Amino acid sequence: METIASPANPRIKYVKRIQNDRRFRRREGLFAIETERWLADSLDQGWQPTLLLCSEAWAETPAGKDLLARVTAPTLLITPALLRDLSETQTPAGFLALLPIPAPPPPANPDLLLILDQIRDPGNLGTIIRAAAAAGASAVVLTPGSVDPYNPKVVRATMGTLARLPLLELDWPEINARWPDLPAYMATGAADLSYDELDWRQPAALIIGGEADGASEAARARATGRIKIEMANEVESLNAAMACSIILFEAARQRRRRPE
């Protein structure tokens, strides 16, 4: 098999555009992954890539051979230099694959719904998605104005957990129409109730507002309650990912103790 070495190759230019151009990425319905865990998880769920680029050295590793045997998409060899140019990491894993952007159905009766309102930082969003998957959230909902969840920096920060829970992009009218009776608690410093005083054993939504501007008017209107995280040493706030993780794992702790 010939090894692609030129950045002018049409396939390479296509992949690079998927990486860098949100509008093109959404039009094509594809995003890029580049960790073995990500690829293995997606294959375990029948989520096949549409294209895989890899170095010859990676293709000869035990992990590479195992994963390539399961991939049905076209596979192309590229030089290590070209792979480094395409990669979003300092030390590329040895391959890059394009996956179809999923369109999961919204859960009809979510147990714990996480609504992210205008979260714009890629690292924060990726960390939140990872925490939501670990804490057993039913789904993550992103409102308009949030960073693209298939941005390479977000995808990398999720550590493959995008494959483990539904991710939905809905506006507030859709959210309100789909779950009109679900209690929704917004995290904010201006609240009387501490997050660990709330009974998370019942179905609920958690609303986390953006780092810079906080929650939107629509988010505040939807919230049926407000909760805060008590802090010491005159610390005024935590970033969105840290605050969200603390609350999610308190909810998970309580839910583990509810009656069967």
What is the pLDDT, as a whole number, of residue 213?
A: 74
What is the pLDDT, as a whole number, of residue 133?
A: 96
CA dihedral of residues 119, 253, 110, 49 (deg, nearest 10): 60
What is the pLDDT, as a whole number, of residue 260?
A: 59
What is the pLDDT, as a whole number, of residue 1?
A: 63
What is the pLDDT, as a whole number, of residue 259?
A: 66
Inter-helix orientation angle 122-135/240-256, to 10°:
0
What is the DSSP secondary structure assignment for residue 159, as one 8-state letter?
T
Q: Of all helices (H) and strands (E), which one includes residue 41?
A: helix 36-44
Q: How many angstroms separate the CA atoms of 37 and 76, rounded?
A: 20
What is the pLDDT, as a whole number, of residue 15?
A: 96
What is the DSSP secondary structure assignment for residue 97, as one 8-state letter?
E
- SS3 call for 127: helix
User: Tokens representing 113?
Assistant: 């719904």
CB neighbours of 12 closer than 8 A, spacing ≥ 6? 4, 6, 53, 78, 82, 86
Mean pLDDT for each 10-residue chunk of the chain (260 residues)?
88 96 97 93 92 96 97 95 88 93 94 96 95 97 96 91 91 98 93 94 95 87 94 80 96 84
How do 30-33 and 95-100 pair as beta strands?
antiparallel
Domains in the chain (CATH in brackets) are 3-100 (3.30.1330.30), 112-256 (3.40.1280.10)
